[in-house]
Structure 1
Amino acid sequence: MTATHEPLSKERRAELRERYLKVDTANVADVLDELGHPDYGLASSFWPIHESQNKMAGWAYTIRGQMTPYSGTGDPEKMKAVSGLQDGEISVWSGGGASGVCFFGELIALGMQHRGCVGSLIDGGIRDIEWIGKMNFPVFTQYRSPVQSIGRWGVNAWQVPVYLPGATAERVRVRPGDLILADVDGVILVPQELAEPVLERAEELTRKEVAIREDLNRGLGLPEVLEKYGHV
């Protein structure tokens, strides 16, 4: 993976995001394996807060924080961080893991959604789940907690590389602009510079699976399917 890459245009980002919503994390994971990138799956402990909103795709907008006591009635750094979100981005929250506090609730989620944010991925907790469920705003998180972050956990940086727990590696590095895809099978990251070739191959696999299902449904046996399509 190279350290630098040409940024995608706003229009291209929107197009790719819509196409990613039509493929599965499983196929994307298989493609990454084919390309020699086996460790971009995120930990299975991330789960969608609502089963009806279990699919999201978007470009990572990273927010980093830490457990730290402070005075005051709010976290101004958090407000600055979320104000930078743009269309098609997923807010990716790191810094705390199982700290026991929620990183945000309904009102911040609503504000992010109005800025064009299309979901959140949180290595931490969330509250106001019932209300967020009415917003059609997908969230994958580690846990739920009614305990607020004010005075306990604060944002210390945003739009910087962050680490999240991985499936096959201890940590997965997430950079601003990387592609996040999540569905009922879990969450996977695609580095921005690989987003286009990975998507094209995942779309090929998706079309192949559609053809296989059609053949199986019309009575073709598994040996015939393997002979016709190879490994599936």
Structure 2
Amino acid sequence: MTLTTPQKADLRQRYLEVDTANVADILDELGYTDYGLSSAFWPIRETQNKLAGWAYTVRGQMTPYPGTGDPAKMEAVAGLQPGDISVWSGGHAEGVCFFGELIARGMQHRGCAGSLIDGGIRDIEWIARMNFPVFTRYRTPVQSIGRWQVNAWQVPVYLPGATTARVTVRPGDFILADFDGAIVIPFELVEDVLERAEALTVKERSIREDLDKGLTLPEVLAKYGHV
């Protein structure tokens, strides 16, 4: 399946109108039961927008190296396209930051729609002011230079999962995250899952309206079935 740039933009906007909970339910129905990500991922601010977009993967690892920067990191993020989510696989890094305000600002100017980071970030106050959605695993002021280095990008990566130790994220898969958590939608399922999630969203809206009108929960479940 090949999608045009306008098609990808339309799908992304529609995903912003559905919740991760409904997407998770649809993936379960389709037999894709292990695509939720670990609850260790958290949004950097309480009023943050949803994170939704196409996975652009960046992989790195803890390794000592000389120098004052990581040229591979700059080369990696140069390929981001509008609507992409930069997905950082940290190689189980602990205690160091490999994402901060300046790199976030540069990615935002390229049209990047947010970041999902299996590792640490800093400059949180400044990133929060940018209206740039970020879900991360921890915070730290300690920089990555000389400690952690990018070793590949736009390759399949592992992220920690909710119901399994690792979830594979491929370039072009779809990432959706909100206050319930984060989930991966395989590229080949993006359209089918979205249509089903939209239908479920409409159904739930009707259920809320009926409950607000005074119907009991058993009456609503008899009318609509389990949701």
| TM-score normalised over the length of structure 1 | 0.97
> Unmatched 5+ residue regions in structure 1?
1-5
Distance 1:197 1:13 in 2: 14
Does the CA contact (< 8 Å) of 1:105 and 1:128 recur in 2? yes
- Structure-1 residue corresponding to 2:153: 158
Does the CA contact (< 8 Å) of 2:55 and 2:84 recur in 1? yes
Does the CA contact (< 8 Å) of 2:62 and 2:93 recur in 1? no
Does the CA contact (< 8 Å) of 2:61 and 2:92 recur in 1? no
Distance 2:94 2:73 in 1: 17
Give structure 1 regions of 4+ aligned residues with deviation exceeding 2 angstroms: 95-98
Does the CA contact (< 8 Å) of 1:97 and 1:142 recur in 2? no
- Structure-2 residue corresponding to 1:129: 124
The 5-angstrom pairing of residues 75-90 of structure 1 reads 75-90=70-85
Distance 2:198 2:131 in 1: 26
Identify which range, 16-25 or 53-62, moves more after superposition.
Answer: 53-62
Deviation at 1:142, TM superposition (A): 0.3
> Unmatched 5+ residue regions in structure 2?
none
Distance 2:53 2:100 in 1: 20
**Amino acid corresponding to residue 10 of structure 1 in structure 2:** T
Distance 1:8 1:47 in 2: 30
Distance 2:200 2:114 in 1: 26
- Structure-2 residue corresponding to 1:27: 22
What whole-Å deviation, never above 9, does each CA across 1:175-228 have from its counterpart, x for those lacking one?
000000000000000001100000000000000000000000010101110110
**Amino acid corresponding to residue 173 of structure 1 in structure 2:** T
- Structure-2 residue corresponding to 1:69: 64
- Structure-2 residue corresponding to 1:3: none
**Count of equivalent residues:** 227
**Amino acid corresponding to residue 64 of structure 1 in structure 2:** R
- Structure-1 residue corresponding to 2:202: 207
Q: 2:167 aligns with which of 160, 166, 172?
A: 172
- Structure-2 residue corresponding to 1:224: 219
Query: Structure 1 residues 54 and 46, CA, compared in 2 at 3 Å: closer, same or farther?
Result: farther
Is it true that 1:18 corresponds to 2:13 in the alignment? yes
- Structure-2 residue corresponding to 1:39: 34
Deviation at 1:141, TM superposition (A): 0.3
Deviation at 1:54, TM superposition (A): 4.3
Distance 2:54 2:140 in 1: 26
Identical columns (%): 77
What whole-Å deviation, never above 9, does each CA across 1:88-115 have from its counterpart, x for those lacking one?
0000000233421011100000000000
| TM-score normalised over the length of structure 2 | 0.99
